[in-house]
Structures are given as structure tokens and as C-alpha cells.
Structure 1
Amino acid sequence: MKQPRQRRLRSRLSTASIYAVLVAGAALTLAPFLLSAMTSLKSARQLAHEPSLALPDPVTLDSFRSLFSEHSFLTPLAVTAQVTLVVLVVQLTCSILAAYAFARLTFPGRDLLFWVYLATMMIPQVATLVPLYSIMVSAGLRNTFWGIVLPTLLGSPYAVFLLREYFRGIPEDIVSAARIDGCGPVRVLRYVVLPMSRPIIATLAVITIVAQWNNFLWPRVITSGEQWQVLTVATAALQSQFNGNWTLVTAATTIALLPLIVLYLLCQRQIVSSISLTGFK
């Protein structure tokens, strides 16, 4: 009788320890975001005279009003949304077509071309920054919308790799049945492969949106002024201009964070489904 009780006790202690570690990790991860949101709801006077962890009392939205009324924060928000939408649609389209060709079509040098393309993931962004900037300046695309989006528009090695592996996991019998029914490569992609790949496409859409929404280095290099300023660059400029007014800076970061939180809540089931289906555990 003592052994089963000891085993149950050890099992409960082990489970409790695991949950304690997970809770601690979640707290450490979420704490900066919660602190930023709390700070954005405080007045500058309250932030200066009270501890940082004190709750906002009273809650004020003055920092948010100031962002849109005095600092034209709506323009970077609109520019970031446009850049993200265009890159999402075009990059996903190009990545799907390339991944389908690498996974399901046969042509000379297919595998070699794929691995060479995949090897470009190993090149750090800073190594191509100066040549890419020179190309954009020569093409007259500095400080333009297309100058921001073109470097990431025509596909992503990571997206192509992930989609290729997923497409290769689709049963060959289903694809063969579609071909017997008279479907060509385009119709197989449209009516068979894409409907079965919604989870992984949704996951890549979320990854692409987050990457473009948070992109800082390239927009900072290729643009100047406020006309094509994205959220990250606008927030960094705001921080340098108003270094003492942290309520204004945290209000900007909170606004930038909210759309991503909503996006994750809407797509979390698709993300979990894609992880389980692709075998990444």
C-alpha cells in the first residue's frame, strides 16, 4: 500500500514541479508586455512619483490621444499595414508555387536548385544590406513603398522549405487520383494540395505578418522622413525624441502589439494543427 501512495505522491510532485516551471517561464515572458501596457495607461507624473509596478490610478488614455493628435502615429500604422498585406499576399503566392514545383514537379537540377536556394538562409541580413541598398538607390526606389517590400516580396527560403515538406507529405494516391480525373498541375495545386494545406499556410501567414510587422532594419535603412515610416521606425524615433516620456513610448509599443495578439488568438488552432500534422513536436 505504501509503494502506490509513494508513486502517486512522486507523480503529483513531478507534475507540480513542471507546472511551476511553466508558470515561471510564462510570467517572465509576459511581464515586459504587461508592464508596457500598464505604463501606457499612466500619466507622466504618476510614472515619475510611483513604483514602476504600481497599477495605473487613475487610468488615463492621454498618451494614446497624444500619439494620434500630436505625433501623426496613424501614418506609420497605415504604411505598416500596407507593407504587411502586400508582402503577405505576394510572398505566400510565390512560396506556394515554388514549393509545389520542388515537391511535385520533376525537372533537371530540381534538388540541387532547392538546396542552393535553401542555403541562402545561412547568409546574415547585414551581409546583403549594402549591396541591396545600392541596387535600390540605382533603381530610384529609395524612400518608396516598393523599396521597402521588394527584397522580401518574391518568396522566403524558410516558407518554401516548410511548404515543400508539407506538400511531400500529402498522400500520392490522392494526387494520382486527381490526375486520373484529368487535373493538370495547376488544378491539382488548386483543388487538392491547397485545401489540404490550410493549417501550414495559416501558420506561414502568421509568421510572415509578424516578421513584416516587426521589421526594423531594412525600412530604417531604405527610408527617411515620415512619408514611408513604419511602426518600428516611428517608435524608435519617438523614443529618441521623447526619451523621458516613457508613457508615450509604451503607448506606441502597445498599439503595435495589439494587432499581433488578436491575430494569434484568431489563428492559434491552425498553428497547433500544423505543428501536429507536420510532426514538429
Structure 2
Amino acid sequence: MKWTKFGSTAAIYLVLLLGALLTLGPFLLSILTAFKTREQFAQQSALSWPDPFTVENFAQLLTGPAQFGRAIVITVLAAMLILVGQLICSILAAYAFARVDFPGRQVLFWVYLSTLMIPPVVLVVPLYLMMTEAGLRNSFWSLVLPFAFASPYAIFLLREYFRGIPQELIDAARLDGANTLDVLVEIVVPLSRPIIATLTLITIVSHWNSFMWPLVVTTGTEWRVVTVATASLQSQFNGNWTLVMAATTLALVPLLVLFLLFQRSFVRSITIAGSA
């Protein structure tokens, strides 16, 4: 019996180990390649350690004609503005749907939520035409404005979380003279930090990794984002894979730092959602 239990446990850990290797393997390969010269990459095994380590690829990316440093700055600014806009609009809308009584509230909410069923690729052409007519095509604002005013997913997630906040707290605040905005800012938002942190992580990651829309709406290198800049390296530098892997490694670092900063809140929101 003990051997059977031991064998089943070992099999589970083996499957988990294989899954971890398949998941982390590409990242390890990217990092190892980023610290190699083109000669090392051509002559050595892909999984061999760089000997010696070199930062030549990173220096070329940030100071050379690739202008990758500019792409990082543009991506950071766009993601931050989208994040601020989405959080403000989503929190206000979610609170209205969760706690404010007005005619047609449920119908309006479910109609808006149904837009989640629309594939994002369907919106590319209409958004492109709108940006062109507004004179914003190939500009920084064309990267930000289409996504800066809330999202159905964020509103849905926040609404469900807000509904779980005890009504007694809100009633007590209103007895003390708090208005709707006071309740939202001083009670609801502080109690919702875990889910807001989760939305922060999801929003930044999704727009940091956005590729199709920036590729369509911008041309040239002036407003190129990280994903488009990385893709262009493959043709711009004749398939220099050490340079491409250095770009992917640089693009990965901010996301890892962001996850490390918000991991406690992220795990806490999952725990709270699972116990609800």
C-alpha cells in the first residue's frame, strides 16, 4: 500500500516536473542565447552555457540602430496610461453596477458584458478607420485611446468583488455622512486592493504583449512598441538570433519584476475568490 502511494506521488511529481521544464525551457533558452556571441551560438549547443558571458547584444540593442530602448519607453508609457484609464473607469462602472440602483442596470450590464464574445480581431478595421479619421494614426495616442476606457472583463471582475463587500460597512459610512464617492474611495477601493492588484498585473501584461494593433496602426520606428520591435529584428539584422533573444529577455524582465511586486496580492485575490 505504501509503495503504491509512493509510486502515485512520484508519478505526479514527474508530470509536474515535465510540465515545468516545458514551460520554463523556452525562457532558459532565450536567456542563454542572449548572453552568447553569434559565433558561440553557431558553434555550440543551444543549451550550453555562454563561455564567456557577453552583454554585447544588449548594448547593441539599446545604443544601436534598433532603437529598442525607445520602444521600451513607449511601451511602458502606453501601458501605464491604459492602466490608469482602465482602473479609474472600471472601478466607477463596476461600483455603479454593483451598488447603485438605476433603471435597466442588469440589462445594461449584461449587454456590455456580451461584448467579451466579440473577437478582438474584428475590431481592428473599425478602430483603424476611427484613428485615421481622427488624424491619430501612427501616433502615440493611437496606441492608448482605444483601450483606455475600461474593459468588460475588468468591470465584471470588480463588480463581483464589490458585491462581496458587506453592505453593513457601506450603510455605516452613509450614517456618518459619507456620499457615494466617499464610500467608493475610502471603503470599497481599500478593501479591494487584492483584486485591483490582479487587474493591474493582467492589464499591463496584456498590453505589454499586444502585437497586432500596434503593428497595424503604426509605421516606421518612431512609435514602435516592444513586440513589433522584437519581430522586426529578425529581418532587420538577417536572423541574428542572439540579438532577438536579447530583446525577448529585456522584454521579459519588467513583467517578472511586476509579478514579484504583486504576487502576494495576486495569490490573495485567488484565495479570496476560491473561498467565496
TM-score normalised by the shorter chain: which range applies? over 0.9
Residues 135-146 of structure 1 aligned to structure 2 (within 5 Å): 135-146=130-141
Q: TM-score, normalised by structure 1?
A: 0.95
For structure 1, which runs of at least 5 residues remain unmatched after alignment?
1-5
SS in 2 for 1:174: helix
Equivalent residue in structure 1 for 2:27, among 6, 30, 33: 33
What letter is aligned with 2:157?
L
- Partner of 2:159 in structure 1? 164
- Partner of 1:108 in structure 2? 103
* In structure 2, C-alpha distance between the alignment counterparts of 1:224 and 1:249, rounded to whole Å: 20
- Partner of 1:88 in structure 2? 83
What letter is aligned with 1:272?
V
For structure 2, which runs of at least 5 residues remain unmatched after alignment?
none
Cα deviation, residue 244, structure 1: 2.6
Cα deviation digits, residues 210-262 of structure 1 (max 9, x gap): 01111111111111111111000111111122243100000000000001011
Equivalent residue in structure 2 for 1:69, among 63, 66, 73: 63
- Partner of 2:233 in structure 1? 238
Q: In 2 relative to 1, CA 131–191 (structure 1 residues): closer, same or farther, beyond 3 Å?
A: same
* In structure 1, C-alpha distance between the alignment counterparts of 2:183 and 2:119, rounded to whole Å: 36
SS in 1 for 2:54: coil
Cα deviation, residue 21, structure 1: 1.6
Equivalent residue in structure 2 for 1:23, among 7, 17, 23: 17
What letter is aligned with 1:261?
L
Structure 2 contact 137–218 (Cα < 8 Å) conserved: yes
* In structure 1, C-alpha distance between the alignment counterparts of 2:169 and 2:8, rounded to whole Å: 45
Percent same amino acid among aligned pairs? 57
The answer to whether 1:12 aligns with 2:3 is no
CA RMSD of aligned residues (A): 1.3
Q: In 2 relative to 1, CA 180–125 (structure 1 residues): closer, same or farther, beyond 3 Å?
A: same
SS in 2 for 1:57: coil
* In structure 2, C-alpha distance between the alignment counterparts of 1:243 and 1:27, rounded to whole Å: 30
Range that drifts further, 236-245 or 197-206:
236-245
- Partner of 2:222 in structure 1? 227
Cα deviation, residue 280, structure 1: 7.4
* In structure 2, C-alpha distance between the alignment counterparts of 1:167 and 1:43, rounded to whole Å: 53
Structure 2 contact 233–239 (Cα < 8 Å) conserved: no
* In structure 2, C-alpha distance between the alignment counterparts of 1:280 and 1:171, rounded to whole Å: 16
What letter is aligned with 1:37?
I
- Partner of 2:47 in structure 1? 53
Q: TM-score, normalised by structure 2?
A: 0.97
Cα deviation digits, residues 38-67 of structure 1 (max 9, x gap): 000001001111111111111111111111
Cα deviation, residue 14, structure 1: 2.7
What letter is aligned with 2:23?
T
Cα deviation digits, residues 110-140 of structure 1 (max 9, x gap): 1111111111111011111111101110000
Cα deviation, residue 12, structure 1: 3.1
- List structure 1 segments (4+ residues) > 6 angstroms apart after TM superposition: none
* In structure 2, C-alpha distance between the alignment counterparts of 1:12 and 1:277, rounded to whole Å: 32
SS in 1 for 2:223: coil
What letter is aligned with 2:33?
T
